[in-house]
Amino acid sequence: METVKLNNGVEMPILGYGVFQVPDYEECKNSVLHALKSGYRSIDTAQAYANEKAVGDAIKESGIPRDEIFVTTKLWVSDYGYEAAKKAFHISLENLKLDHLDLYLLHQPFGDVYGSWRALEELYKEGKIRAIGVSNFFPDRLVDLLSFNEISPALNQIETNVFYQREEDHKVMVEFGVQHESWAPFAEGKSEFFENELLVNIGRKYRKSVAQVALRWIIQRDIVVIPKSVTPERIEQNIDVFDFELSQEDMKAIAALDTNTSKFFDHRDPKMVVQFRKWAEGL
Ligand code: NAP
């Protein structure tokens, strides 16, 4: 598996396995087990996904040495703030049955980001987390956080796919040494993603599926990617992307699919900020 080196020297697989929207314990555990059997060595979960226990049990059951698996989880907004963040971190560790995390992310750029970040910095210094980072931060929020804190985020996980390519965000992350990670690499299938004519045609040339072309395009931009699937053949297909390379011409053609618009929502939309506060309060 190819890796990227984070800004603190920690290496992370460039492709991992995401488990958003897999709340069922058995389905999640079996899917993670299948992913590990298929060669994945990085798992992305979050306390908000309510499946950390299943992920932890799959890791244990797999028998793969702990230091060969890169585990990421995230702090949810309801637990933001210095004290609450520390408490939530220990709950995640317990759920996952681990003694340390590889990567811990602030899931959203809202609420007491600074207090939470201080908690993460301390846990990092204590050796309980190998790298700390953020998710869904637009460049202004990201550069604010890294400019006024001791430890810079190692990574920012943001929606990134052929329809929303994040070229400007990417440039800022490269400039400040923050690794770009893609979520929703298939836009969760929206806008007839898997039937896209350009991707279908490019896939034909390489004898690869639309999903594989989409993942390869992200990897060739040096972006970490964490596709989700609960379908065994797709889990296998999504990691089978290291035996071909898209030409510069194909990379350019795919660049033209960018709409520079989220397929979900904009984290800068005030209505969404209010919505997140309601979610944080359990409303
Ligand atoms: P995604 O990976 O873009 O899409 C998942 C969808 O694509 C599922 O419906 C899956 O179906 C289907 N699929 C997967 N592989 C396929 C293939 N080879 N051919 C056809 N269909 C395929 O969406 P996502 O789960 O939102 O994003 C990936 C990961 O990013 C998440 O699991 C999570 O870890 C992370 N994420 C983070 C955030 C954040 O705020 N930080 C937000 C969203 C996601 P089946 O499962 O039925 O096979």
Q: Where is pLDDT greater, at 1 or 149?
A: 149
Q: Return the CATH number at 42.
A: 3.20.20.100
17 assigned to active site: no
* 96: its two tokens: 């996952």
Tell me which of 17, 25, 40, 49 is the catalytic residue: 49
The pLDDT tens digits for 76-115 are 999 999 999 999 999 999 999 999 999 999 999 999 999 9
Report, as an integer, the average pLDDT of 34-40. Answer: 98
CA-nearest residue, atom 25 of ligand 1: 228
Over residues 141-164, mean pLDDT:
98
Give the pLDDT of residue 169: 98
Domains held by the chain: number:
1
pTM of the complete model beyond 0.95: yes
43: left (phi over 0), alpha (psi -120 to 50) or beta: beta
pLDDT score recorded for residue 204: 98
pLDDT (tens digit, 9 = 90+) per residue, 39-55?
999 999 999 999 999 99
Residue 245 scores a pLDDT above 90: yes
Residue with tokens 């970040």: 117
Mean per-residue pLDDT over the chain, rounded: 97
Distance CA 14, CA 41 (A): 10
Ligand 1 center–CA 139 separation, angstroms? 24
Query: Is a pLDDT exceeding 80 seen at residue 264?
Result: yes
How far is the centre of ligand 1, averaged over its atoms, from the C-alpha of 229 (Å)? 6
* 197-242 pLDDT, tens digit each: 999 999 999 999 999 999 999 999 999 999 999 999 999 999 999 9
Q: What percent of the chain has pLDDT over 70?
A: 100
Packing angle of the helix pair 210-219, 248-255 (nearest 10 deg): 100
Q: What is the pLDDT of residue 283?
A: 75
Q: What is the dihedral of CA 168, 240, 12, 258, to 10 degrees?
A: 10
User: Measured in angstroms, how far is the CA atom of residue 82 from the centroid of ligand 1?
Assistant: 31
Distance (angstroms) between ligand 1 centre and the Cα of 31 equals 13
pLDDT for the residue numbered 102: 98
Is residue 183 predicted with pLDDT exceeding 90? yes
What the block records as the tokens of 8 is: 């603190």
Residue type, position 274, single letter: V
Cα angle: 2, vertex 4, 7; to 5 degrees: 165
Mean pLDDT of 178-194: 98
Q: Which whole-number Å values give the CA distances from 260 to 68, 149, 204, 232, in the listed order?
A: 36, 30, 26, 32
Q: What angle do CA 222, 225, 226 make, to 5 degrees?
A: 165
Q: Indicate whether 37 pLDDT > 80.
A: yes
Report the nearest-CA residue for atom 38 of ligand 1. 183
Query: What is the average per-residue pLDDT within 261-269?
Result: 95
Mean pLDDT in residue range 273-278: 94
Residue 278 binned pLDDT confidence (cut-offs 50, 70, 90): very high
- Domain extent, residue 41, equals 3-280
Pocket probe for ligand 1: among 229, 233, 235, 239, the residue whose CB has the most ligand atoms within 8 Å is 229
pLDDT confidence band for 255 (50 / 70 / 90): very high
Cβ < 6 A, ligand 1 pocket: 18-20, 44, 107, 135-136, 157, 183-189, 194, 209, 211, 226-231, 234, 237-238
What is the Cα–Cα distance from 156 to 204, expressed in whole angstroms?
Answer: 33
Distance of CA 54 to the CA centre of its chain: 18
At residue 282, does pLDDT exceed 90?
no
Q: Which atom of ligand 1 is nearest to the CA of 183?
A: 30
State the amino acid at position 259 in one-letter form: T
